[in-house]
Amino acid sequence: MQKYDLAIVGAGPAGCTAAVYAGRSGIETIIFDKGAGGGLLSIAPKVENFPGFTEIAGAELATRMVKQAKRYAAFHPNEEVKDVKKEGDKFMLSTTNGNYETKALILCTGSLHRKLNVEGEKEFLGKGVSYCATCDGFFFRDKKVAVVGGGSSALIEAIYLKQIGCKEVYVVHRRDVLRGEKILQDEARKIGIRFLLNKVVEKLEGEEVLEKITLRDVATGKRMHLEIDGLFVSIGVEPESSLAKNLGIKLDERGYILTDEKQRTSMKGVYAAGDVTGKLRQLVEACAEGAKAGLSCAEFLGKGYPYL
């Protein structure tokens, strides 16, 4: 069994930042990610609100963060932490590749895309249904697509799909007004994206691939069919807090991990940072929480606060 001072679960912006601060504090750190690392940042087409960069692709910024984290921690991509148990003052981690022992734990497990939970959604996953425009949008160039959601993330995805050459792009939202930033709404209108407001998706249909969706008007109850080749679902996220729940760590009513000002959870030696804490869900906030968690671990493990 491999032993470390600190294990970080999740290599998104929060996890990578925590790794940098912990590693620079002299803590022997390992960081796990069930994918390649970078979190949801890696699928953001463009980032314009991170200090120091007027504009940068999300994938590029994520790659830089992972590269920096690798300087200070043992990086284990494509290795999912399946279970964590506390034994005395140690934590035992079981992953898809092995078992590890650590003195402290930082949970940066992020969030998952919400599903529509309608007929046909599961059946057409990968056959027209996607939760990531930047991942799958290329396959729908010169085709008709719709994005479900009314927030900034949905608008960003719709704009991206239009920019890469989708023939027609619709935004479907259940309310009569969009919630996304006005600058994004204006850009979407400018480039010809069509809004279908007061509409909900009821059903997805097709033979081998998605061919059309049924929409219901929430005000009138009338239904309409929309022929599309791709449906991108962007209706928010929910916390990936199952590891914390299984440890008995306190969560709020939405399932997010509760932390104090030092990112400490209700269990001694366990910290949390990033989207899984349910704060602002902004990139800079995730990095700030990751930094605090890393420094708090340094204090907990007797390394002090090296930057203060």
Is 145 within 8 Å of 166 (Cβ atoms)? yes
DSSP string, 97-162: S-EEEEEEEEE---EEEPP---BTTTTTBTTTEES-HHHHGGGGTTSEEEEE--SHHHHHHHHHHH
Is 39 within 8 Å of 63 (Cβ atoms)? no
Residue whose entry in the numeric block shows the structure tokens 């057409």: 124
DSSP type of residue 50: B
Is there a catalytic annotation at residue 135?
Answer: yes
d(CA 299, CA 77): 27
User: Which long-range contacts (C-beta less than 8 Å, at least 24 apart) are formed by 87-93?
Assistant: 89/269, 91/7, 91/269, 91/270, 93/7, 93/32
Is 11 within 8 Å of 69 (Cβ atoms)? yes
- Which amino acid type is present at position 129? V
d(CA 242, CA 282): 22
d(CA 177, CA 260): 35
Token representation of residue 118: 């309608």
Choice among 5, 33, 136, 275 that is catalytic: 136
Token representation of residue 164: 């890469």
Choice among 135, 176, 186, 252 that is catalytic: 135
Token representation of residue 166: 């989708």
Q: State the Cα angle at 245 between 241 and 247, rounded to 5°.
A: 120
Is 46 within 8 Å of 96 (Cβ atoms)? no
Is there a catalytic annotation at residue 108?
Answer: no
Pairing of strands 129-130, 237-239: unpaired
**Residues acting as catalytic residues:** 132, 135-136
